[in-house]
Amino acid sequence: MPRIYDHLYPVFKLTVNNIRRHPIINLISIMIISIAMLMLALYFLAYMNADRVVSTWRSDLKVAVYLDDDLSPEGLILLKSFCLDLDEVIHLDYISKEEALKRFKVILGKDSSFLSDLPENPLPASLELLLDAEVADIDTVEHLARQLRRQTGVDEVAYGSYWLRQLFSLLKMVKYLGFIFASFLSAVTVFVVASTIRLSLFARRETIRVLYLVGATRRFIVMPYLFEGIFQGAVASSIALGLSYGGFYYFKIWLQEQVPQWSIAPMLKFFDLSSLLTFLLLGTLLGIAGFLISSRWLSRD
Amino acid sequence: MILNRYGHFSASCRPMIRVSNLSKSYNYPNMVLKDISFRVKKGEFVYLSGPSGAGKTTLFRLLFSDLKPDSGQIIIDGLDLARASANRVAQLRRRLGFVFQDYKLIPNYTVFDNIALALEISGTPRRFIQKKVWRVLKVVGIERQVERLPLQLSGGEQQRVAIARALVNDPRIIFADEPTGNLDAEIANDIMHILHSINGRGTTVVMVTHNRALLQKFKRKVFYLNHGSLQAYDWLN
């Protein structure tokens, strides 16, 4: 009885033969798919890390409540109590006028000497509210700010809503545009694989005819092309992952050197193992899709 | 064992090939083959001959289901080609051997691999392949070329490889389309001797040729085609 190995061996042999016989076609195909997959990988990396950074910022979402100078100690106690009763607030810090001045001096550094010449401390006392990231979306924060502004003794409420809202909208847009972009790149990849296999089928039509004549079934004939599609997809996605890792690594170093104060670079992460495997699988599936399209062109006769 | 007057197997009763009322046109109503019927018995050696454009190659291709007929029936080794699925046709082809004028060898496969391919496709276990390939290499006399690529061989050697590939699965029938067409007279004689020796072992051989000299030298039954009709069905003298 023939074993499975006896059936698979000639298929693998033909696959290797196909690839070795047309290295240029395969190389060009792998290069094009690699570029498409690289763009996909960079898009996913950018989106994934932007989402992570924004989530981190969201989890560190603070609201500063600036107080009137004439707020009495009883009024302050009442206001603190009101803030702590809010569901979104998980922690509260009171920053006195003196503390605020001290912090400001630290920020200004050598340029802070002029503060000593001022007749009185111009900075207001404030309450720093740390919000629960799970419940505090932008709409909640804005609602909260309106509530706080209505309280006695509150002069101003600051929470950087504008840029955060812009960032959220941008991310949402990137997500939807990215979907279109990813679909387009996937289609390009499938088209490239399909065209390569079609070229390959055309170039090897005489070999295919010989295979039919010596009794090969259609399945036997198309299997090497399926493996070729898988090979192209897997190799191209591996190359794309390698290149995107290189790009990611240098971008992280560059970002740390350019804007160290943002502390973004340490938050950036490359794909984890499951994402890497998913990406490889995606490349392989695109290769199979390309094969499925091209195999329709392979006439039975 | 019954031997005919040439010292070969006498044909048994069961037809190996039965063609009934076969017609084929590429561009209707111009018929390439018109209502052709004939039989080839087991162990026979027959020629399909006729002038260029007579329909030899069309008939030849119809016989191994490389083309579909417009009407009529072809039964090869008990299989009705019109009713057979693609897989059944593939299985039938594993019991047939093919030899072509242009050899149809895979250029970047060695001689060994080209011959082994026919066995691999039929799922022959690897441990038997080596032995079977060497056996047919000896039959056609090209053992020394086993590691060469087809393009490193002469035309005659390439045709021997093609014959070895056709033989390796112990075929019931060998179909040969102008197997000597590209060869000089001496090598053509060698190839004809090989084919006749294969026939001598009981394999049915159907050979397409328009070379009258060969027909005269290696006398066998001839199906003579002219303008799509089977005009002669006799020994050619």
Task: Specify whether the CB–CB gap between B114 and B192 falls below 8 A.
Answer: no
The DSSP result for A231-276, as a single string, is: HHHHHHHHHHHHHHHHHHHHHHHHHHHH-GGG--GGG-----HHHH
In a domain, A300, yes or no: no
The reply to whether A288 and A181 lie within a common domain is yes
In a domain, A53, yes or no: yes
Token look-up 């206001």 returns: A79
The total domain count for chain A is 2
Q: Which of B117, B129, B136, B161 to mutate to test the interface with A (most CBs of A within 10 A)?
A: B117
CA distance B67 to chain A (A): 8
With bands split at pLDDT 50, 70 and 90, how would you rate the model's confidence at A242? very high
Token look-up 């040969």 returns: B176
Task: Specify whether the CB–CB gap between A62 and A128 falls below 8 A.
Answer: yes
- Domain span holding position A174: 4-57+166-295
The reply to whether A53 and A172 lie within a common domain is yes
Task: Specify whether the CB–CB gap between A214 and B121 falls below 8 A.
Answer: yes
Mean pLDDT within A84-91 = 86
Chain A residues inside the 8 Å CB shell of B164: none
In a domain, A301, yes or no: no
The reply to whether A73 and A51 lie within a common domain is no
CA closest to B166 among chain A residues: A214
Tens digit of each residue's pLDDT (9 = 90 or more) over A139-154: 777 888 888 889 888 9
CB atoms B118 and A215 under 8 Å: yes
Q: Give the residue numbers in A contacting B (CB under 8 Å), as ranges.
A: 2-3, 5-7, 9-10, 13, 17, 20-21, 206-207, 209-218, 220, 300-301
With bands split at pLDDT 50, 70 and 90, how would you rate the model's confidence at B237? very low
The reply to whether A106 and A135 lie within a common domain is yes
Instruction: Work out the percent of chain A whose per-residue pLDDT is above 90.
Output: 11
The reply to whether A110 and A187 lie within a common domain is no
The reply to whether A114 and A190 lie within a common domain is no
The span from the CA of B120 to the CA of A296, in Å, is 25
In the numeric block, which tokens belong to residue A9? Answer: 């061996």
The reply to whether A200 and A291 lie within a common domain is yes
- Interface predicted TM-score of the whole assembly (ipTM), two decimals: 0.80
Chain B residues inside the 8 Å CB shell of A214: 93-94, 98, 117-118, 121, 165
CB atoms B117 and A7 under 8 Å: no
In a domain, A89, yes or no: yes
CB atoms A215 and B117 under 8 Å: no
Tens digit of each residue's pLDDT (9 = 90 or more) over A243-288: 999 999 999 888 888 777 667 778 888 999 999 999 899 888 888 8
Task: Specify whether the CB–CB gap between A235 and A193 falls below 8 A.
Answer: no
Residue of A6, A209, A218 with shortest CB distance to B124:
A6
Q: In which region does residue B170 sit, left (phi positive, over 0), alpha (psi from -120 to 50) or beta (all else)?
A: left
What DSSP state is assigned to residue B3? Answer: B
Mean pLDDT within B189-212 = 89
Number of C-beta neighbours around residue B142 at 10 A:
22
Chain A residues inside the 8 Å CB shell of B96: 215
Among A124, A158, A192, the domain-final residue is A158
Task: Say which CATH number the domain at A90 has.
Answer: 3.30.70.3040
The reply to whether A67 and A132 lie within a common domain is yes
Residue of B92, B96, B117 with shortest CB distance to A10:
B117
With bands split at pLDDT 50, 70 and 90, how would you rate the model's confidence at B2? very low
Mean pLDDT within B195-216 = 88
Among A158, A180, A199, the domain-final residue is A158
More confident residue, A3 or B34: B34
